[in-house]
Amino acid sequence: MANCTVCGKQTTKQCGKCSNAWYCRTECQRSDWKNHKKVCKYPFEIKESEGKGLGLFATRDLQIGDLVVCEDPIIYLSDGIKGVLKSPQTFKHTYENLGVEERNKILALVGADNDLTACNLVMESCLDSSSRKEDQEWKRALRIYGRNAIAVDDSGSALFSTISRINHSCSPNVDWSYLENHRTRKEVRVIRNIKVGEEVLVDYLAKSESFPLTSDRKEALRWGWHFECKCSLCSLDHDENDALRKRVQQLHDSVLNCGRREDVEGAANAALQKCKLLEKCEDLKIHLPVAYMELYETLIMLNLYRRAYGINDAFMAKVADRREEYREKAYKHCRRTKLYIDKAMYNKKIKRLAMMGGSHILLR
């Protein structure tokens, strides 16, 4: 049983073409067609995923780079990323300005129960304070927001009708990005081939630029998303994968630490080893573009410092002179998956790298 996409009534009837929208009667289906026809063609169906509520499942084989869905948010808040929403009052105001259809779409998402753990502390204090009847709906919606909101650009978060139904896996087969010219519109694309019938899974923690071990990932998902992860990686024996992640994290830290000690050669070496290791680990490949960009930028630094630090020519010939090749690898991955390269993210990294050794040099 689900809620009608238009009026919110309980129903078991789905769109016959894609099974991704629920309608209680023909009038509701007809009135929603102008919106629904934009997503009706997508290659997935929404159905029960064991132990995780609903989820997206491929209705045909999908290749790397294929589009799963592209969607605008039902509600978008620019004042804080998920989990640290600054003001529940902003949420209340934005929610109450939505039309009935949008509100019903939000209320149909998972998490409307009275479970206060599905809220961060700011939300919790606000939700605790009043039990007035007229406040109940937006508070329900706020709880749903706590369970489903997704970061959409550097500072905002949003709820989506379809994308918010994608379950998490620490070994994902899709990734999402916003569009260059439309930062609240979200696109989901395949990063590992998916067979018909397989669940479409994204890594909720992927953009955190760290390589957490199983126990840390579980904790982060409990804290930020309020669930106990049942993905394949967390369910299996994870010692080997954890050992690999530990090594990648060490190399990642080493790039920064070497930089702080003005050991640019050490930083470049660590960045290179990190890329090599990431290439071997299927569930961490998502980090490759940023890692190759980091290597590229480190090698530019190396080139600039080569005389000052007496960096040996053999090392330069072996690694540093190949820097364009590494930059190309960063872009190649993004071109293959057709995901938007977040230039802001790279710029932040470039700034951080430019601070290495207290230098004021301009990189570009």
Ligand X SMILES: C[S@@+](CC[C@H](N)C(=O)[O-])C[C@H]1O[C@@H](n2cnc3c(N)ncnc32)[C@H](O)[C@@H]1O
Minimum CB separation of residue 101 from ligand X in Å reads 18
Question: DSSP assignment of 121-186, as one string?
Answer: HHHHHHHHH---GGGHHHHHHHHHHHHH-EE-SSS-EEE-TTGGGPEE-SS-SEEEEEETTEEEEE
Name residue 116's amino acid: L
**Minimum CB distance to ligand X smaller for 193 or for 232:** 232
* Residue closer to ligand X (CB basis): 224 or 266: 224
- Least separation in angstroms between CB 232 and ligand X: 9
Distance CA 160, CA 75 (A): 7
Contact 152, 178 (CB under 8 A): yes
| Residue showing the smallest CB distance to ligand X in the complex | 53
> In whole angstroms, how close is the CB of 226 to ligand X at the nearest point?
6
Residue number with CB closer to ligand X (229 or 270): 229
Quick one: 144 or 302, whose CB is closer to ligand X? Answer: 144
- Interface contacts to ligand X, rule CB under 6 A: 52-55, 109-110, 147-148, 164-165, 167-169, 225-227, 229-231
Task: Rank residues 18 and 311 by Cβ distance to ligand X and give the closer one.
Answer: 18
Tell me which long-range contacts 24-28 makes (C-beta under 8 A, separation of at least 24): 28/4
CA–CA distance, 125 with 27 (Å, rounded to integer): 41
CB of 54 to ligand X, least distance (A): 4
Give the DSSP H/E element, type plus range, for residue 354. Answer: helix 343-354
Closer of 36 and 323 to ligand X (Cβ)? 36
Task: Write down the least CB distance from residue 5 to ligand X, Å.
Answer: 13
Q: Minimum distance from CB of 146 to ligand X (Å)?
A: 9
DSSP state letter for 208: G
Contacts of 329 (CB under 8 A, 6+ apart): 275, 288, 292
For residue 339, give the amino acid letter.
Answer: L
Minimum distance, C-beta of residue 168 to ligand X, in the bound complex (Å): 4
Cβ burial 2-25 (10 Å sphere, 16+ → b, else e)? bbbbbbbeebeebbeebebbbbbe
CA–CA dist 230, 338 (Å, integer): 29
Minimum CB separation from ligand X for residue 11, in Å?
A: 16
Angle, to 10 degrees, between the axis of helix 288-305 and the axis of helix 323-337? 160
Cβ within 8 Å of residue 113, ≥6 positions away = 143
Which residue lies nearer to ligand X by CB, 221 or 272?
221
When the beta carbons of 160 and 326 are compared against ligand X, the nearer one is 160
